């Protein structure tokens, strides 16, 4: 069986260094907000080519804390609106609604699965304060267009980079393309910890200062609380693991690109719609997402031939029970996407003979005859 994602194989590559890192933390006697977190924050800020990085507990908290900090700084207020793609993973939307802000869904472009800049302005009202862009599946948004709209309407732009560590837009890394960015280090992400983790990236000193306090009970000085904060800290042990894995991120992205390019060049089945890559460096291939009208049969056919696949995502946020009666309007592009997408295995440790086997199976798939 070719698994959808083999995390054990990914981390085994660095087993010695990871064990060394764990031993260092165990022996240090210091497990939260110490040297490991500080040096990872510095390394990741440098990698993203920006000033500040704040390690937090997970990717949802990273986004959540950005909006919370904007509220504490008086830049946003309860009831203000944030534009967000309708087809994103639910976490992007949770970060907005958790803060008493109102998520306003905008349809994506069907080719890129990212926000369609042409549809953003129609969704802007007097209450709009920000655009949350999501570099979905690992491909960067059209940031020049989005930033120009934001500038015209005085909006903040926040990047959800949970799926796009290391992707480039016109030579600039994601995370430094807008006002602030949230990253996830969930084990399955392109830069994955061995547990939960996340980070906020920004070049705004006020945002950095506020989030640094908010992640630690709203306190800058022990037992002195400026805000009603959270407990959302990145563990020392996870920071130590992440520092090891960050060194290999660019090589892993290269390996993912090789898999993606092989799929793109060799999948010829006309029933499959392949992803559109705008530029080699703008996509880091967190997921390889195809569309197929008969996806259920294709998934079964792959499984019968020893290949796991997955769906990202089966139910759009506006149709989730959690957001029942929340969103007005219809989202036909989003619904079409959710009904047709499926994800083929992709990872830095997937071997070429495995990719070739998957391509062969996909190319042999025939849709069931319709009556």
Ligand X SMILES: *Cc1c(COP(=O)(O)O)cnc(C)c1O
Residues found near ligand X in the complex (CB under 6 A): 58-60, 88-89, 91-92, 134, 160, 162-163, 184, 186, 196, 198
Strand ranges in 141-300 using DSSP code E only, listed in sequence order? 156-160, 168-169, 172-173, 180-184, 198-202, 219-221, 224-225, 288-291
Q: Least Å distance between CB 248 and ligand X?
A: 20
SS3 129: strand
User: Is there a contact between 169 and 177 (Cβ–Cβ < 8 Å)?
Assistant: yes
Give 113 or 263: the residue with its C-beta nearer to ligand X.
Answer: 113
Give 201 or 361: the residue with its C-beta nearer to ligand X.
Answer: 201
Q: Which stretch of DSSP H or E encloses residue 353?
A: helix 352-364
Q: Least Å distance between CB 33 and ligand X?
A: 19
User: Is there a contact between 344 and 358 (Cβ–Cβ < 8 Å)?
Assistant: yes
Q: Least Å distance between CB 84 and ligand X?
A: 10
Give 89 or 288: the residue with its C-beta nearer to ligand X.
Answer: 89
User: In this structure, what token pair is assigned to residue 210?
Assistant: 């506020």
Q: Least Å distance between CB 363 and ligand X?
A: 29
User: Is there a contact between 187 and 213 (Cβ–Cβ < 8 Å)?
Assistant: no
Give 195 or 226: the residue with its C-beta nearer to ligand X.
Answer: 195
Structure-derived torsion over alpha carbons of residues 187, 193, 196, 201, reported in degrees to the nearest 10:
-110
Query: Which residues, in sequence order, are CB contacts of 79 under 8 Å at separation 6+?
Result: 100, 101, 102, 127
Give 50 or 88: the residue with its C-beta nearer to ligand X.
Answer: 88
Buried-exposed string 344-358: b where 16+ CB fall within 10 A, e elsewhere: bbbbbbbeeebbeeb
- Cα distance between residue 109 and residue 114, in whole Å: 6
Give 88 or 334: the residue with its C-beta nearer to ligand X.
Answer: 88
Q: Least Å distance between CB 135 and ligand X?
A: 8
- Cα distance between residue 106 and residue 318, in whole Å: 11
Q: Least Å distance between CB 310 and ligand X?
A: 13
Give 165 or 354: the residue with its C-beta nearer to ligand X.
Answer: 165
Comparing every residue's Cβ against ligand X, the nearest one is 59
Nearest partner of 297 among 234, 356, 340, judged by Cα: 340
Q: Least Å distance between CB 226 and ligand X?
A: 25
- Cα distance between residue 59 and residue 272, in whole Å: 32
Q: Least Å distance between CB 143 and ligand X?
A: 16
Give 18 or 134: the residue with its C-beta nearer to ligand X.
Answer: 134
Half-sphere exposure of 235 (CA within 13 A, CB side): 16
């Amino acid at each position: 069986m070719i698994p959808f994602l083999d995390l054990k194989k990914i981390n085994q590559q660095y087993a010695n260094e990871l064990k060394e890192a764990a031993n260092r933390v165990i022996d240090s006697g210091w497990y939260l907000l110490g040297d490991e977190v500080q040096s990872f924050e510095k390394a990741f800020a440098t990698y993203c080519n920006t000033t500040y990085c704040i390690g937090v507990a997970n990717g949802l908290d990273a986004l959540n804390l950005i909006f919370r900090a904007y509220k504490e700084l008086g830049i946003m207020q309860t009831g203000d609106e944030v534009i967000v793609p309708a087809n994103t993973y639910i976490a992007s939307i949770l970060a907005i609604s958790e803060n008493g802000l109102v998520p306003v869904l905008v349809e994506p472009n069907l080719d890129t699965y990212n926000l369609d800049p042409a549809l953003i302005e129609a969704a802007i009202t007097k209450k709009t304060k920000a655009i949350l862009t999501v570099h979905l599946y690992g491909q960067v948004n059209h940031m020049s267009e989005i930033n120009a709209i934001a500038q015209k309407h005085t909006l903040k732009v926040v990047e959800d980079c949970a799926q796009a560590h290391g992707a480039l837009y016109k030579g600039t890394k994601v995370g430094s393309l807008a006002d602030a960015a949230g990253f996830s280090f969930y084990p399955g992400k392109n830069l994955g910890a061995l547990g939960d983790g996340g980070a906020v990236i920004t070049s705004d000193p006020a945002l950095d200062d506020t989030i640094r306090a908010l992640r630690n009970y709203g306190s800058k000085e022990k037992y002195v609380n400026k805000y009603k904060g959270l407990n959302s800290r990145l563990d020392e042990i996870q920071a130590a693991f992440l520092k090891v894995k960050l060194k290999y991120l660019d090589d892993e992205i290269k390996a993912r690109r090789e898999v993606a390019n092989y799929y793109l060049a060799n999948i010829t089945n006309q029933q499959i719609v392949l992803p559109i890559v705008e530029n080699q460096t703008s996509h880091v291939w967190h997921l390889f997402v195809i569309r197929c009208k008969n996806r259920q049969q294709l998934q079964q056919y792959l499984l019968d031939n020893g290949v796991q696949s997955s769906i990202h995502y089966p139910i759009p946020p506006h149709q989730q029970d959690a957001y029942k009666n929340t969103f007005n309007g219809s989202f036909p592009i989003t619904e079409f996407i959710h009904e047709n997408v499926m994800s083929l295995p992709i990872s830095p440790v997937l071997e070429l003979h495995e990719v070739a086997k998957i391509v062969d199976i996909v190319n042999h798939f025939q849709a069931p005859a319709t009556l």
